[in-house]
Amino acid sequence: MADQPPDHTAYSTASRAALRREKIAARLAMSATAHREASACVLNHLASLLKPRPPGTIAFCWPIRAEVDCRPVIAELLAAGWQAAMPTVEAHAAPMRFLAWSPDMPLRADPHGIPVPAHASPAVPDVLLLPLVAFDAAGYRLGYGGGYFDRTLAVCMPRPLTIGVGFAAAAVASIAPAPHDIPLDFIVTELGVLRPVPLATP
């Protein structure tokens, strides 16, 4: 029987799953002190990027699995006249919906157990903060594998400014982007603000 050609899709999926496990485990293994100090640096850089912008609507995710907690910066922006929103999963393999958020708002768990606004009006974000599991210098992001952000950004009109937020240890040479992957506009880690360099077109 002739050899079957390699399944590059399966290889890519398996490679991403392994990278995802590795990077999440490394983040969870950070000491409380290291996490606190790195997070403080991330938030300082994020604030320096956002505060010069005119007030708008910023969407962010509730922190899970030792992600950077962006709520302190969100609170500063709210005090400066911004509004906030959170992306909400409503159906598998569908774009997310953005709901208005405020600090005193009751929350509920989405289908993945992540806190989201319980009762809120729809919102249209000007800026979207995305958590990073891994990222590369071209601005491509590896998340948790659901593809929700790529599907959402593909239908957002107008598209919000996208900022990946995470730790420098999440950096990789390349996540080997698939055709559906959408690069970020900025990446913020404890080392500073990175403006991605687009991949060269063949």
Of 143, 115, 4, 122, residue with least CA distance to 57 = 122
Beta bridge partners of 59: 85, 128
List, in sequence order, every beta strand (DSSP E) within 139-189.
141-142, 161-165, 186-189
Band (pLDDT 50/70/90 cuts) for residue 6 is very low
Distance CA 20, CA 163 (A): 19
The CA distances from residue 129 to 3, 85, 170, in Å, are: 45, 10, 16
- Per the domain annotation, does 199 fall within a domain? no
pLDDT of residue 146: 80
- Per the domain annotation, does 69 fall within a domain? yes
Looking at the structure of the chain, the number of domains it has is 1
Q: What is the CATH number of the domain that holds 163?
A: 3.40.50.10420
* Average pLDDT value for the chain: 89
Question: Largest Cα–Cα distance of the chain, in whole Å?
Answer: 69
pLDDT at 138 over 70: yes
pLDDT of residue 202: 52
- Per the domain annotation, does 175 fall within a domain? yes
List, in sequence order, every beta strand (DSSP E) within 123-175.
127-131, 134-135, 141-142, 161-165
User: What tens digit of pLDDT does each residue of 25-69 get?
Assistant: 999 999 999 999 999 999 999 999 999 999 999 999 999 999 999
User: What tens digit of pLDDT does each residue of 97-124 get?
Assistant: 899 999 999 999 988 888 999 988 999 9
